Structure 1
Amino acid sequence: MDTTTSRRVPLVMGIAVFVLLLDQATKYWAESALTGRAPIPVLGEFLQLRLLYNPGAAFSIGAGSTWVFTIVAAVAVVLLARYGLQPQTKLRAAALAMMLGGATTHLLDRLFRPPGFARGHVVDFIDYNGWFVGNVADIALVCGAILLVLLSFTPTKQPAS
């Protein structure tokens, strides 16, 4: 491992672990505070808190194929970790780390939440005007992806060593 890569490990792992812990903590809160409750308006109907268990992907697509999403999440975690630790700019590493944290926490949900191993449902609780319901991991995944897209429009520089 070169020095550039070894300097990326704390950054990437720190951000990924932060996302994972924040996501799992908010899911724990959502399950304890929102179970059996009607949606709680935060910004009227535009943003509400509503507990759902999602067996599928975004918009509950593929609800009957939870095991497929488990495999996809596992592959994503491996690829994001591998690419995130390669020499690159700190911003690009941070974007990949946000995505790594989100993918890892979704993988953990798939592996260890009911109804069973590799078939677990993801806890969602942030309702965006009825369009979709998500969680903190989804926010990290989207923000990381947007940052990567924005960075693709900037000239690439050699990472600082």
Structure 2
Amino acid sequence: MESENKELVSMHERKKIAKGKMIAFCLFLIIFAVLADQYSKYLAVSHLKDNSGIVLIDKVLELYYIVNTGSSWGMLAGQKALILFISVVIITLCIFMIIKSPEDVKFIPFNVALSMIIAGGIGNGIDRIRFSYVIDFIYFKAINFPVFNVADIFVTCGAILFILLILFKYKEKDLYFMKFNQKKFREMN
């Protein structure tokens, strides 16, 4: 009996350590991505703000400084408080999912996707709080795509990876931790 208890404690401790390592890894990714985003925006302001732009690939890719008071494609322009509120809700949900996700190695891509979304949200949130706008500077001229930034790349790639994982990698039973337990909620009230 005592050895079973020690094994359970040992297994519980290993899970705690694994979860701590995963959270530390996610935190490292988030910090690295936010710093990369902010540094790229610093470079954009330093080299592009008073410049007509830099052509990287003729008629395809340019670096071009603009400010965006909205969200994606300029939607919700001037709605700083609403955009920040939505961002905080999404970031909070992503953090919750990282914390609740199992320690299993197969959830590393899941947590990476969520970390990318968090980092992009924080990167653009910093701009919104500091300047009341977001600095955008990457322009795909070939398809006339709206000008975007590194944080947008993190959010987009993270969201695409998250959707692909949910649709093709994980089974419903793998995602049990994301379900809202109505019975538990009713018991609390």
Q: Give the TM-score of the pair, scaled to structure 2.
A: 0.75
Residue ranges of structure 1 left out of the alignment (5+ in a row): 114-119
Residue ranges of structure 2 left out of the alignment (5+ in a row): 1-14, 175-189
Q: 6, 26, 35: which one pairs with 2:40?
A: 26
CA–CA separation in structure 2 for the residues paired with 1:12 and 1:76:
16
Per the alignment, residue 63 of structure 1 pairs with 77
Matched, 1:94 2:115: no
Structure with higher helix content:
2
CA–CA separation in structure 1 for the residues paired with 2:160 and 2:63:
24
Per the alignment, residue 106 of structure 1 pairs with 124
Q: Which amino acid in structure 2 is aligned with residue 74 of structure 1?
A: V
CA–CA separation in structure 2 for the residues paired with 1:155 and 1:34:
43
Q: Which amino acid in structure 2 is aligned with residue 154 of structure 1?
A: K
Question: Deviation at 1:2?
Answer: 3.4
Question: Deviation at 1:20?
Answer: 0.3
Q: Which amino acid in structure 2 is aligned with residue 131 of structure 1?
A: F
SS class of match (1:104): helix
SS class of match (1:5): helix
Identity of aligned residues (%): 28
Per the alignment, residue 135 of structure 2 pairs with 123
Question: Deviation at 1:24?
Answer: 0.1
Q: Which amino acid in structure 1 is aligned with residue 169 of structure 2?
A: T
Per the alignment, residue 151 of structure 1 pairs with 165
Cα deviations by residue, 1:88-128 (Å, 9 ceiling, x for unpaired): 41110011001110011111111122xxxxxx100000012
After alignment, is 84-93 or 122-131 more displaced? 84-93
Question: Deviation at 1:79?
Answer: 1.6
CA–CA separation in structure 2 for the residues paired with 1:106 and 1:76:
13
Moved over 6 A (4+): none
Greater RCO, 1 or 2 (C-alpha within 8 Å, sep 6+): 1
Q: Give the TM-score of the pair, scaled to structure 1.
A: 0.87
Per the alignment, residue 117 of structure 1 pairs with none
CA–CA separation in structure 1 for the residues paired with 2:150 and 2:53:
18
Q: 139, 149, 163: which one pairs with 1:135?
A: 149
SS class of match (2:151): helix
After alignment, is 41-50 or 78-87 more displaced? 78-87
Per the alignment, residue 90 of structure 2 pairs with 76
Q: CA RMSD in A?
A: 1.9
Cα deviations by residue, 1:46-93 (Å, 9 ceiling, x for unpaired): 210000110001111121312211111122222222212322411100
